[in-house]
Amino acid sequence: MSIKRLQRLWTIQRVARRYALGEFFGKPPRRPDPRPRGERLRLALQELGPIFVKLGQALSTRPDVLPPDIAIELSLLQDRVPPFGGDEAQRIVEKALGKPIHELFDEFDSTPLASASIAQVHTARLKPTSPQDPGFEVIVKVLRPGIDKTIHDDVQLMYLLADLAERFNASARRVRPRAIVAEYEKIVFDELDLMREAGNAAQLRRNWLGSELIYHPAVFFDYTRENVLVMERIRGISIRELDRLRGMGVDFKVLGERGVEIFFKQTFRDNFFHADMHPGNIFVDASNVRNPSYIAVDFGIVGQLSASDQRYLAENLLAFFNRDYRRVAELHLESEWVPSGTRLEDFEAAIRTVCEPIFQKPLSEISFGVFLLRLFQVARRFNYQVQPQLVLLQKTLLNIEGLGRQLYPELDLWKTAKPILEEWMRSRLGPSRFFNQAKRDIPALAESLPLLAQQLVRNFERGDGLDGRLRASIEQLRQEMRENKRDQRRTLIGAALIVSASLLWAFDGVRPALIAGAPMASWLLGGAGVLLWWTSRRR
């Protein structure tokens, strides 16, 4: 192990002692700390630096394996770190785009507008294209220098710690720390490719262009590389500035309901949702305070579901809403989210135990986030299999609901979500779905018909392929029919010979002059008949 890694391990151990994190490994602290364990863990991760902050954010998306108090506390982690130098940012941009900064931009502010663990953002103005063009205002997102190596080193260290935890702590094995680190590694390395983020932003913009609910900034791909992203600068008010928005008279009820509508439409209508919707990535266009809309930024993490996961999720949500707990249990078994040997009645009863106390409240008071946490606790008893494809969705839903309740405490999530889910289910099962599918398939079918016709002609000419196999089958059938006819004739002749032999035997001694030698003839005829009959029957 390198000296650098040993130093990092020593730092981790020192921070863990300071925040009494030995409790997580069954060790009593030397000095009791009155603060809740979740808060102490969050503060420790913040002190250990941006990579561990990212890990904490990833852990906060796993309420299925973490206790609720820790999952909720880790969701409060804020990704704020000191910036790196503006001169260094300029050098990175110039190297990536192959030109001096003054040839690329009319203006470039070396003081960063915002700084995070992976990258920081600078404001700039593109070169004008005409005398009347003042130049487009943009933001330039630049990856931190050497961040890929830093992340790689810390991820490898996390794997080492995860292995030690799984080997020496039984309770840690249930949480599966190595699997969590692997999940985190995938997410964080995806964020290192800004071309990927640019593609995500372009897709979301295309899905919602012209909508009054949300706006996504345009991407300038000519200025974008793996470590540099240039995007339209947006003008909005951070969702964190609630007092400012409240003072302007912004309608928080509309804003809260629109947030829920955006989430469910991204998930079910588009199957492409922004999966990092924490307050730092959400702004408000308050130009019309009675009809406010959202502006989204930072598209490094997005999510998609398979068609079957979409359907199962929609059916689960609707079944929960209708208190059809048996259907919920059936869906979990059908989708293999719980083991196939699980007794349906037991799982249904456990779900009812969780849901009924919640549904005694008015719908506007039901927290879907708390409901999910309790459901995961129950599902763990039945060896619930974690669904990686749903982890980002769960995290995003928790963020959206938390934000919505903060904006408008009486927010009725179900009132907004249920019509969207029902409309989606109708579109999936109705005739329009069939016609839309046919409309998509017809061009491909029409394009393939000439090729299919050519293939059939070649098959006729060669006598192989589908037509060749058909003709071979017909010929085989004819051969079998001919053989069957021969066997039938043999059977009939054999039977006739046997009957003749029987008659000769019966007349033996009655009219010897007419039937001389009958005994010998009957034996010969009978033997020949039996032989013919036997061979035909064997065939």
Which sequence positions are flagged as catalytic? Answer: 276
- Give yes or no for a contact between 248 and 284, defined as CB atoms under 8 angstroms apart: no
325-334 vs 344-359: helix crossing angle, rounded to 10: 130
Q: At 72, list the tokens.
A: 């909720």
CA distances from 271 to 29, 186, 205, 263 (A): 47, 20, 14, 10
DSSP states along 100-130: -HHHHEEEE-SS-SEE-SSEEEEEEEEPPSS
Distance CA 469, CA 344 (A): 49
- Give yes or no for a contact between 466 and 452, defined as CB atoms under 8 angstroms apart: no
Least Cα distance to 29 among 11, 43, 17, 41 occurs for 17
**Residues contacting 58, CB < 8 A, separation 6+:** 180, 183, 184, 187, 188
Cα 399 to the chain's mean position, in Å?
Answer: 18
| Helix extents (H) in 227-306 | 242-248, 252-264
Q: Which residues is 282 bridged to in the sheet?
A: 296
**Residues contacting 383, CB < 8 A, separation 6+:** 338, 339, 342
Q: Which residues is 525 bridged to in the sheet?
A: none
